[in-house]
Chain A
Amino acid sequence: MQPVLERIHHVEERLARILTSGWRNAGSEAQSLAAEASDLGETGLPELAALIDRVAQSQGETEALPAISLALSACRMLRARLAIDQPPPGRWEPLKPASAKGKGRRDELLPIARLPLVGQTVWACVGLSGSAPDQLILLADPPPPPPPTAGGGPGLIARLFGKAEQPSPPPAVPWLARTLSGHLRWQGRWPLGAGGEVQLQALLQPAWEEPPAEDDPLAGIGKVLAKGKWSDRQILMRSAARSLTIRKAEVADASAYVWPDPAVAAAFRAALPGRSWILLWEEGALTTPLALLEPSGLGHNAKVIHLAP
């Protein structure tokens, strides 16, 4: 098949050259077509041969243009039908897949709270770029909490949020206090409002990072929350158009909220009565409640109220 295809292609190129250089300048190119038509006829392509021969016999451009147009179209159709499906000669190798999976930069995220998502519980986390918030992430299959630290508990915030009284505290998730690192792998994309979106991710090779140093901006979040006295629009962390913000429930505009899942909205509405503070993710014009906050009071510390059990 290859020689026939080559011959057709050769004729096609000759026809294209004639059109490009003009019939007046075709000269020997046009004369050679008669012989090529004869060859194609002998190869078993009489119809194509007749079309090529018509070009060769043309007297002037008025006959040549329609003849060339038809012949070119026929060559192309025939080549499409007979096209070769073999790779060009040489040593072809499979595209080498990722050989160094898991290496390279590790993604870092700050767990915020539990959320319901189509029947499962995911963690709402803030993806970090340095210490700045980069995006809201929903984490599927979250890792187990870190073991209690040598200091006697899961960390400042966990202690403040109701775990310190237990004599031998079980491992608890250090919400908003310690970061997780690993390699994010995309699992899904959920719409947020009319134009926004949030990614559901898995975290490969997860590891809890050490609690932030005193001078780390992330440590400041813990201090603010532990204090239990907040103001409306208090920003916990912020980058260009994104922020993690505390809002007073009674002044916040609940109609502007967007939800990744109706179950989050339902849980929020169920948990809201009697609560005053909301922890929000704001990105551009989109506002997504992630949890409720309960300030410290007589006999209890400040608490994160999750929207999923």
Chain B
Amino acid sequence: MFTPSHFAAVLLFALFASTVFGITQRETPQKMFRYGLYCFALFVGSAIVLSWVMFLIAR
């Protein structure tokens, strides 16, 4: 059984989803790459921000 940490799961999810988003939502390879990076940063960044928000609410 594969048991990644929560953050590793977030990274894997963001990697695969942003790859598909980049390829399907833009037309040229350069724009695809940039949009993929943008989506990856948003996925991971929002997960970190929401984690801190939930941590502070739970305290």
Chains A and B come from one and the same complex: no
Interface set of A (CB-CB < 8 Å, partner B)? none
Q: Which residues of B contact A (CB under 8 A)?
A: none
